[in-house]
Structure 1
Amino acid sequence: MSDYLPLHEAVIPELPNYYRGKVRENYDLPDGRRILISTDRLSAFDRAIASIPLKGQVLTQTARYWFEHTADICPNHVLEYPDPNVVVGKRLEILPVEMVVRGYLAGTTGTSILTMYKQGRRDMYGMTLPDGLRDNQALPQPILTPTSKAFDGGHDEPLSPAQIVGSGLLTQAQWDELAAFSLALFARGQQKAQERGLILADTKYEFGLDADGHILLADEIHTPDSSRYWFAQSYPERFEAGGRPESFDKDFVRSWVVERCDPYTQDLPQIPQELIDQTSSVYVRAYETITGQAFDYPPPGEDPQARIRRNLAKYF
């Protein structure tokens, strides 16, 4: 993978209204379109810790596959793809609720149902889970575990549907529509993942309103960064043994850093190229496994920022 140059950033001065996200560069055009460029930045510990070659292309193209295979369920923001790392979409007013759908008792964060369940909680997100569930066990049916959408570095907070509507984050009609979209998208995701020998254990969706007030699916969908995928063949044996399900392990770099420093307070050590290349290979493998399509590698040594600049010249 060292033949491929990473895209650290994609700053194009000729494009208007620049906004830099953790991973994406964003530009808002005067006509209501937004240009989203996925860089190869790997964000962790509240900062970018490395650039993983091909990561941005993998995420953009994986989301493209899913946007195209779910457009019959829910309209999305996509208008065109002028470059492998770029999507041009409708500019949306992002709704302040992140729709997380879970099919299994899994997770590691403070808002995950497994974390809460192991703390002894059974009532969460406006529902009650039964006693006796085991780590990574399939739930009786997929459930919605929405969180507040954290803007400007805030933390996501778990919410119930009653809290969402009662606090005015969404209207009842908006909640009903988001809930229906999310469960239908997840069902399609699980179905197609199963065809590829995968289990889609959980995922998150982001929605926004267009200029006419219609709800559209935004951001990304069913990518290896927004979703938890497990390998179906090894899942039963690992579950019975109480082990962790086999997945696309992309955390080589994060784990290596944590073993060597406190990444929140100390300078990061030099990350070995071997680890970066290993992570890049996992992303490409994830794309090919999830979509069933061969990854379209760029020419070795190509400067991705120069290519993107050429492909976006028509928007200057």
Structure 2
Amino acid sequence: MSTKSVAPFQFPGQKSFYSGKVRDVYNINNKHLVMVASDRISAFDHILPKPIPFKGQVLNQIAAKFLAATSDIVPNWIESVPDPSVAIGKLCETYKVEMVIRGYLSGHAWREYKAGKRIICGVAMPDGMKENDRFPTPIITPATKAEEGHDEDISREEIIKQGIVPESEYIQLENYTRALFQRGTEMAADKGLILVDTKYEFGKIGDTIYLIDEIHTPDSSRYFYADGYQERQDRGEKQKQLSKEFVREWLIENGFQGLDGQTMPEMPDSFVTEVSERYIELYEHITGDQFVKADISNVSKRIEENVLAALAKL
């Protein structure tokens, strides 16, 4: 889903521009990407009308931290983080699948399970599970990357059969995905959290596979609080989540799930402030670091100056 046709910035060597739901992406000389994390927020495949202050900074800095913490597992695309809301890195040829991995029966997998399905993306799910139960072993449920609309579930067999990813490379993507999820799980546990499910995206330069985009952020991952998890499961209660699920819940309560004929509710300023505060809380809990608000008196000028200085060093 593209949100802008005109690029907010014109950087030296800029070949193309793409605006996604959250990020604005600039191709520099077909070698590098400048990725600006905006304060836009999306839910149900719709961009909400009001930006969330500091959200872009939160996502960018969480992703940068986790990419640095997993670079021993797989090389990643990032070369520098010149601004609180910007990452610059390698332009890779992107694999057309998202590697979704699930440690628990939640979200989309639970909805499929509740509907009676016991196989998702060609992977069997055990009988007798409840929502948010832990899988015996994390399962990988890939999805095709859609240019427009929803991503679609796909099995490992179909990915290989359709030639979307060669078999030897797909096996490597699976191995990376499991290793990354294990590292993310350990880092979350250290902060009293459970990494429930997440997604990874990969690209390639020559014969080298790179981890790209963002990882382990509240927009790409679901976290539970570890404290009280089992007690809540035993009582059949909802789990305490650390994700943007609360935004979806607010929209549902106000009659919006992105369906035809539904009108996006007006977000009061008090709710926008609450969402901003929740994202900052997420940052501090997930990273263990204190969040330092960037100067937002002139965000465009700040980003432009920082990116130009970084590009001059490439």
- Tell whether 2:238 aligns with 1:238: no
Count of residues paired in the alignment: 301
Change (3 A) 1:232 1:114: same
- Report how far residue 267 of structure 1 moved: 5.2
Could you say which residue in structure 2 is the equivalent of 1:273? 269
Letter matched to residue 216 of structure 1: Y
CA deviation vs aligned residue, 1:15-45 (integer Å, no higher than 9, x gap): 5222211111111111501100000001234
Match of 2:193 among 192, 198, 201: 198
Which consecutive residues of structure 1, in runs of 5 or more, have no partner in the other structure?
1-8
Runs of 4+ displaced beyond 6 Å? none
- What's the counterpart of residue 32 of structure 1? 31
Q: In the alignment, what sits opposite 2:70?
A: 70
- Counterparts of 1:138 and 1:47, CA distance in 2: 30
| Whole-angstrom distance in 1 between the partners of 2:298 and 2:245 | 26
Cross-structure match for 1:282: 278
SS at match of 1:88: strand
Residue matched to 1:162: 157
Q: Could you say which residue in structure 2 is the equivalent of 1:146?
A: 142
The question of 1:12 aligning with 2:23 is answered no
Q: CA RMSD in A?
A: 1.9
Distance 1:261 1:243 in 2: 24
Q: 2-side partners of 1:186 and 1:137: how far apart?
A: 17
Q: Is the 8 A contact 1:10 1:39 kept in 2?
A: no
Cα 1:255–1:116 change in 2 (3 A) is: closer
SS in structure 2 at match of 1:208: strand
**Aligned residues of 1:25 and 1:37 also touching (Cα < 8 A):** yes
Percent identity, aligned pairs only? Answer: 41
- Which of the numbers 161, 169, 172 marks the counterpart of 1:174? 169
Structure number with the bigger relative contact order (C-alpha 8 A, sep ≥ 6) is 1
| Contact kept in structure 2, 1:57 and 1:84, CA below 8 Å | yes
Structure 2 SS opposite 1:99: strand
Whole-Å separation in 2 of the counterparts to 1:85 and 1:102: 28
Partner of 1:131, secondary structure, is coil
Give 1:3's aligned residue: none
- What is the deviation of 1:122? 1.5
**5+ long unaligned stretches in structure 2:** 1-5
Say which of 124, 130, 134 aligns to 2:126. 130
Indicate conservation of the 8 Å contact 2:223/2:243, yes or no: no
Residues 261 and 134 of structure 1, relative CA distance in 2, 3 Å threshold: closer
8 A Cα contact 1:99 1:144, kept in partner:
yes
Task: From the superposition, tell whether residues 100 and 46 of structure 1 become closer, same or farther in structure 2 (CA, over 3 Å).
Answer: closer
Deviation, 1:92, is: 1.1
Bigger CA drift: 58-67 or 44-53?
44-53
**Do the aligned residues in 2 keep the contact of 1:10 with 1:305 (CA within 8 Å)?**
no
